[in-house]
Structures are given as C-alpha cells and as structure tokens.
Amino acid sequence: MNARVVVAGVLAGLTVFLWTTVSHTVLPLGEAGLTPLPDQENLLRTFGGVATERRLYVFPWYEEEAKMTEAWRTQPRGLLALTPAGQEFTMSGALAKEAISDVVGGLFLAFLLAASGATFGGWLHRVAFGAALGAFASTAIDFSYSTWYGFPTTYLAAQLVDQVVGWALAALVAGWWLARRANRSRTSSSRS
C-alpha cells in the first residue's frame, strides 16, 4: 500500500468518525431503537452479581434443541453485552478506539477504491461504491443479528442509514484524494 492510499484511508476514516459524531450527537441515529432497561435498578443488581468478566450473553440458551425451540417461541430472547463493574470507562478512551477503528476501515476502503479503479469514475461512482460498502456491512452484520436476536426495525434502519451515508462520504473524500494525486502525477508526466 503506497503513501497515497494510506493518506486517502486516514482521510476516509476521519470522515466516518466526523459523520458518526454528527449522526450520534445531532441526529437521532445514535439512539434509534434503543431504550433503557425496564426495572433497571433490580436488573443491574442481578447483573452485578453474575457479571465477573466482559462477556456477550445470549438468552435463552439450552443445550437440548427441543427445549431451545420452545424457549425461543415462548420466552423473550436477545443478546446482552455486559462489562462488570469496576472496569474503567472514559469517553476520551472510547472515542480514541472508535477513531482508530474508523481509520482502519478507511484504509480498507481506500485500498478497495484504488484496486478497483473506482477513483477514476467520478464522484457519483465513488459515492455509490462507498454506499454499497456501507450497505454490505450493515446488512451482513446488523440484519443477521436481527434475525437471531430480534433487533428492532428502527435500530436496523438507523444503522443502515448511518453506515451508507458514512461510507459514501468516506469514499467521496478518499476517491477525491486518490484521483487528485493521480491526476497531478499524470499532468506532471505529460509535461515532461
């Protein structure tokens, strides 16, 4: 991966980070489909007594297929991510991790843009490329989880919009950078 692609990837990742900042603080996308736990105080006391390490819990869970099928038909089901009390959380640390993951995603996007030649198809082609990647990511992950764990439709729609818009903007920025640098190189070589 050359420096041009790395810079495009960093710009793309920062674009996604800025978009998600707006979509989660200004727009309602960050909280769409999310609600507080009912009877939160009692549930938190219960979780606090059983959550001894960071885990992802699925419920209900039975080894016997017939019991599992019956439970999924008659009981609530879902996915619960728990972090035990006492593990430090800072907003700045979480934002830094989010920015790093967005930049890593941006590097993948820039590589795919450069490898596919999508940077030379114009801005509409770049936007469509990024939107398709965002739609792919959202449907491959969020829609699959919804199938098994019942994510609300509002949440799915918000995540789809968030990913499609964010990665479309990222592809526009990365594609602009890649095409700009490539056009400059072609102009310089044609003058020689």
Tens-place pLDDT, residues 121-153: 678 888 888 999 999 999 999 888 888 888 888
Cα(163)–Cα(62) distance, rounded to whole angstroms? 34
Tokens of 119: 């940077």
**Contact yes or no for 54/84 (Cβ under 8 A):** yes
Please report whether residue 75 resides in a domain.
no
Please report whether residue 121 resides in a domain.
yes
Specify the pLDDT at position 183. 55
- Return the residue matching tokens 């996308």: 29
Specify the pLDDT at position 10. 94
- Return the residue matching tokens 């030379």: 120
Specify the pLDDT at position 158. 92
Please report whether residue 73 resides in a domain.
no
Q: Which residues of the chain have pLDDT under 50?
A: none
Neighbours of 40 (CB within 10 A): 10
Q: In 3D, which of 169, 151, 55, 154 has the Cα closest to residue 102?
A: 169
Please report whether residue 44 resides in a domain.
no
- pTM for the predicted model, two decimal places: 0.78
Peptide bond into 60 cis (omega under 30): yes
**Contact yes or no for 11/137 (Cβ under 8 A):** no
Please report whether residue 192 resides in a domain.
no
Name the residue range of residue 16's domain: 3-34+89-184
Specify the pLDDT at position 17. 94
**Contact yes or no for 9/111 (Cβ under 8 A):** yes
Please report whether residue 39 resides in a domain.
no
Domain count, the chain: 1
Specify the pLDDT at position 120. 60
Helices (H), the chain: 3-25, 40-50, 65-74, 91-116, 123-138, 144-149, 153-191
Specify the pLDDT at position 80. 81
Specify the pLDDT at position 186. 52
Cα(163)–Cα(158) distance, rounded to whole angstroms? 9
Specify the pLDDT at position 191. 54
Please report whether residue 116 resides in a domain.
yes
Spatial CB neighbours of 100, under 8 Å, sequence gap ≥ 6:
none
Please report whether residue 98 resides in a domain.
yes
